[in-house]
Amino acid sequence: MNIFVLNSGSSSIKYQLFRWPNERPACSGLVERIGSGQATITHKVFDLQAPDAPPREQHRTLVLPDHEAGLHEVVRLLSGGIIASPAEIDVVGHRVVHGGESFTAATRIDAAVKAEIKRLFGLAPLHNPANYLGIEVAERVFPQARQVAVFDTAFHQTLPEYAFRYALPTALYTEQRIRKYGFHGTSHQYVAARAAAHLGQPDARLITIHLGNGCSMAAVRGGRSLDTSMGFSPLAGLVMGTRSGDLDPSVLLHLLGPLGYTPEQVGTLLNKESGMMGLTGSNDMRDISAALAAGDARAALAYDLYAYRIRQYIGAYAAVLNGLDAIVFTAGVGENDALVRTRVCQHMEFLGLQLDEAKNQARTPGLRDLSGPASRARILVIPTDEELEIARQCAELLA
Ligand code: AMP
């Protein structure tokens, strides 16, 4: 079965093709700057017989007026040896950011599902329209394939009501659906399942820590999400690359009132100009750790603030879980930035966490256990793989 996993953004398409049940992709790629005369495609083909061999890569710059043109270009690249024609794609697995309260698992896409994804545009104006466009384009380019939606919110639909409700007047929930939804669910679900399997403990109490450009944490037990740090939108919780994370809502009122910001300006400030970007001028941890090493005081404060917020959530989620079996670091920063892990794990002996600093500094690929001999709870690094998780969920749904 050929499963094509598609992540359609406002001006980009990310994709991977799986020859299921092989869990390694046969190829992957990224189309960027769609809608411009300077669009780029990076296409990688992997040798499934030689997993360690480097992929064959192609780069092109071209004119791509829209997503449909982009996907046709991808099909042209796939047709150069991977598949003979688009008809060979059996399943398209779409990443969809917001599934509201309607979708708790991967779902076969039909007219009603599309209508519901469209209805949710208001809750996810930055993401769902682009995801929806990807579905419509894929339906035209792969008309014979089964289309499946995998939602970022679905994994967190198991939160108890006292965890997902805000203490606002009830009608704002019942009529306007204002509540915590949580995001990055596919990543939390994937690393939590791998951690539980690694520990041989299906009921393990886990805190999963996804630190990429967006950052979120989840408290997971028995494969169920019990709480998560993002909320009504992906703006809540941890300090992120360019997003503020938690703040007192009165700050918004102060910006909108006395300081004269428009709602659009506040949105831009909180989503694009805050977080590590706001604190240091860069959203990339590699720049910030270089600045820190050079003695930059802003970088030092930013690292402290970033790690402090994660530590606060670890404390909170250990309480939610009534104990802790493992914490799991994942995504760009979580997998690569040893200093963040050191800062997060400092003074956490009361939770049974003891980091082995030599293991923390070692750069070995794959799942890593960084716990020291005295650690009662494990400290794991697990590379996330949202595309593989989407492919798995498609295969399970259609089995
Ligand atoms: P993601 O959203 O998971 O792709 O993560 C992207 C972020 O990971 C980048 O913005 C960087 O801040 C961070 N990152 C990537 N590689 C490294 C690295 N080697 N060391 C520290 N941070 C990294």
Pocket lining: 376 vs ligand 1, CB cutoff 6 Å: no
CA distance 123 to 177: 9
pLDDT band at 190 (very low <50, low <70, confident <90, very high): very high
* Reported pTM: 0.96
Please state the rounded mean pLDDT for residues 377-388. Answer: 98
Pocket lining: 275 vs ligand 1, CB cutoff 6 Å: no
First vs last C-alpha separation in the chain: 11
Please state the rounded mean pLDDT for residues 269-298. Answer: 97
- Using an 8 Å Cβ cutoff, are 54 and 47 in contact? no
**Structure tokens given for 399:** 């089995």
Tens-place pLDDT, residues 215-233: 999 999 999 999 999 999 9
CA distance 165 to 178: 8
**Residues in Cβ contact with 49 at an 8 Å cutoff, skipping those fewer than 6 apart:** none
CA of 211 from ligand 1 middle (Å) equals 8
pLDDT band at 79 (very low <50, low <70, confident <90, very high): confident
**146-151 vs 107-108, strand pairing mode:** antiparallel
pLDDT band at 125 (very low <50, low <70, confident <90, very high): confident
DSSP alpha helices (H): ranges in 56-110? 67-78
pLDDT at 109: 98
The active-site residue out of 152, 227, 325, 337 is: 152
Please state the rounded mean pLDDT for residues 53-64. Answer: 94
Rounded to 5 degrees, φ, ψ at 73 are: -65, -40
Percent residues over pLDDT 90 in the chain: 94
pLDDT at 66: 93
Tens-place pLDDT, residues 304-313: 999 999 999 9
pLDDT band at 52 (very low <50, low <70, confident <90, very high): confident
Q: Which of 79, 65, 41 is closest to 137 using CA atoms?
A: 65
**By alpha-carbon position, which residue is closest to atom 19 of ligand 1?**
336
CA distance 26 to 19: 7
Residue 265: how many other CB atoms lie within 10 Å? 14
**By alpha-carbon position, which residue is closest to atom 9 of ligand 1?**
284
Q: Which atom of ligand 1 is nearest to the CA of 284?
A: 12
- Cα dihedral 291/295/297/298 (nearest 10): 0
Q: Which of 73, 60, 120 is closest to 96 using CA atoms?
A: 120
Query: Does residue 95 surpass a pLDDT of 80?
Result: yes
Which domains does the chain show, CATH number per domain? Answer: 2-151 (3.30.420.40), 201-386 (3.30.420.40)
pLDDT at 305: 98
